[in-house]
Structure 1
Amino acid sequence: MASVVGAPRAAAPKGAARCGPDTGSLEIPACTVVKEYDGFEVREYDTGLMWADAHFDSLSYREASFQGFEACFGYISGANDKNETIEMTGPVRMQPGKQAAPGSAEKWTVSFFVPSKFASRADVPVPLANNMEIEAPARTFKAVAGPFGGFPGERDYQRQLSNLVKAVEAAGLKVASDADVTYAGYSSPFTVIGRHQEVWIDVEAPPTAAA
């Protein structure tokens, strides 16, 4: 999922708007809800969105969550080449990778959504941390379950993911062959009441999606 240096953000697709839970003034990525199904919805996230990714080898979800939040918070607090403070956005993405062997560390990517005020990749402050990079994903379709509250752990997310995959298959849709799994958190770690989380998985374009 490479980024193009200096490329301007693509214009938001027709019909794109805020998607996901009500986060008040917190900026979240624009997307288009393609269709709502029983237990989930499919969203289209077009090109032009950018994320600051932090990569870790972690032995647990909890460890990756702590490391990722610390890295992303450092980045938006000025640990970038412009020493610029960047406003908080949502969601924070957590994407589990693969283990090299049973019991070994798992590769995780924890990401901060880059605010839309940065018009192009060249405008985005570059992270100083060696394990961080700016990503500009291609257009994707994501099946989304949630939002749900509380303080979910990895088993809770895995249960939500299992139910989501079953619902996707029951709806006649296909999980993408190279699908990313995303645990999306919209709430601060310090928020106790009214928390919002979702689970995303990449799917092939549904029949109702525009070409």
Structure 2
Amino acid sequence: MWDKSPNPWFIVPCASQLLHQRKMEKPWLSLMLISILCCLALCKGIESPEFAVIHAESDFEVRLYPESTWMTASVRDISFEKSTWNGFHRLFQYIQGANLNFSRIAMTAPVLTSIVPGAGPLHSSAYFVRFYLPVKFQATPPLPLPELHLKPDKWAIHCIAVRKFSGYARDDNIVKEAEKLAISLSRSPWANFTTSESNYAYSIAQYSSPFQIFGRVNEIWVDVKNSGLEGCESSSVSTY
């Protein structure tokens, strides 16, 4: 059975309807207002990509994700935190109507930041911040305005190893969390099946509002290649 990840990140449809803006001079104020309005309105029904858990241990699990489409913002910065805010600011404009259809798009979760291996302080040189498109737009995503420098990415069915962690995802803790997942995988039947062919070392999935202090949910994602192990026979290395 397909499952869905918990908790919205920080923007939802009913809150976005209360903000009529095309260009945000102070995006952090807009994001804070949206988060507060969402909490007051008790908005629900955030879409997330479906998945099936095919292997579970105490500190990680392996999920099978079906095909899906994401909108992606590429960012070059040494900071994971700055890159995520930069990329999501552009994605937020897109879902507010900065697209060729002038479509308003409902918020989804998680906000996913993928790290490209490199030589920077976080062993990275670039980031890709991703927004999961609602089912309504999966087949035909509205085209973003050119100045936003966004592009849709189609993911093939594939498996992902996932480790959950709480608190805030920061520059100083995401590498440690990724290392913990790597250690867990090295001691499991999946030790030899994390992909070295992907262009991304790992991704950080954030589900909670930046203004939520308690009960925060984050995940480290690592791709699992076509392993032949039960449940992942049909998966392949993702090309996102």
TM-score by length of 2: 0.73
TM-aligned CA deviation for residue 130 of structure 1: 4.8
Aligned mate of 2:97, from 63, 71, 78: 78
TM-aligned CA deviation for residue 98 of structure 1: 3.2
Q: How does 1:1-211 map to 2 (within 5 A)?
A: 15-18=1-4, 20-23=5-8, 25-47=45-67, 49-99=68-118, 102=120, 106-118=125-137, 120=139, 123-128=140-145, 129-146=147-164, 148-173=165-190, 174-179=193-198, 180=200, 181-204=202-225, 205=227, 207-209=229-231, 211=233
Distance 1:168 1:21 in 2: 23
8 Å contact from structure 2 (residues 204, 220) kept in 1: yes
The AA in structure 1 aligned to 2:128 is: T
Q: Please give the secondary structure, in 1, of the residue aligned with 2:172.
A: helix
Distance 2:129 2:96 in 1: 16
Against the structure 1 CA distance between its residues 130 and 25, is the aligned structure 2 distance closer, same or farther, given a 3 Å change threshold? closer
Unpaired segments of 5 or more residues in structure 2?
9-43, 234-240
Greater share of helix residues, 1 or 2?
2
Percent identical = 28
Distance 1:50 1:40 in 2: 25
The AA in structure 2 aligned to 1:175 is: T
| Cα offsets for 1:4-48 (capped at 9, x unmatched) | xxxxxxxxxxx3232x3355521110111111023100001122x
RMSD, aligned α-carbons: 2.1
TM-aligned CA deviation for residue 169 of structure 1: 1.4
Distance 1:187 1:81 in 2: 29
8 Å contact from structure 2 (residues 64, 232) kept in 1: no
TM-aligned CA deviation for residue 68 of structure 1: 1.3
Distance 2:89 2:134 in 1: 19
- With 198-207 and 108-117 compared, the bigger mean Cα shift is at 198-207
The AA in structure 1 aligned to 2:88 is: F
8 Å contact from structure 1 (residues 44, 140) kept in 2: yes
TM-aligned CA deviation for residue 210 of structure 1: 5.2
Alignment: residue pair count: 191
TM-score by length of 1: 0.82
8 Å contact from structure 1 (residues 37, 171) kept in 2: no
TM-aligned CA deviation for residue 105 of structure 1: 8.0
| Cα offsets for 1:65-91 (capped at 9, x unmatched) | 220121111111111111111110000
The AA in structure 2 aligned to 1:200 is: W
Q: Please give the secondary structure, in 1, of the residue aligned with 2:214.
A: coil
The aligned residue for residue 20 of structure 2 is: none
Distance 1:182 1:74 in 2: 23
Unpaired segments of 5 or more residues in structure 1?
1-14
Greater share of strand residues, 1 or 2?
1
Q: Please give the secondary structure, in 2, of the residue aligned with 1:87.
A: coil
Moved segments of 4+, more than 4 Å: 101-105
8 Å contact from structure 2 (residues 84, 113) kept in 1: yes
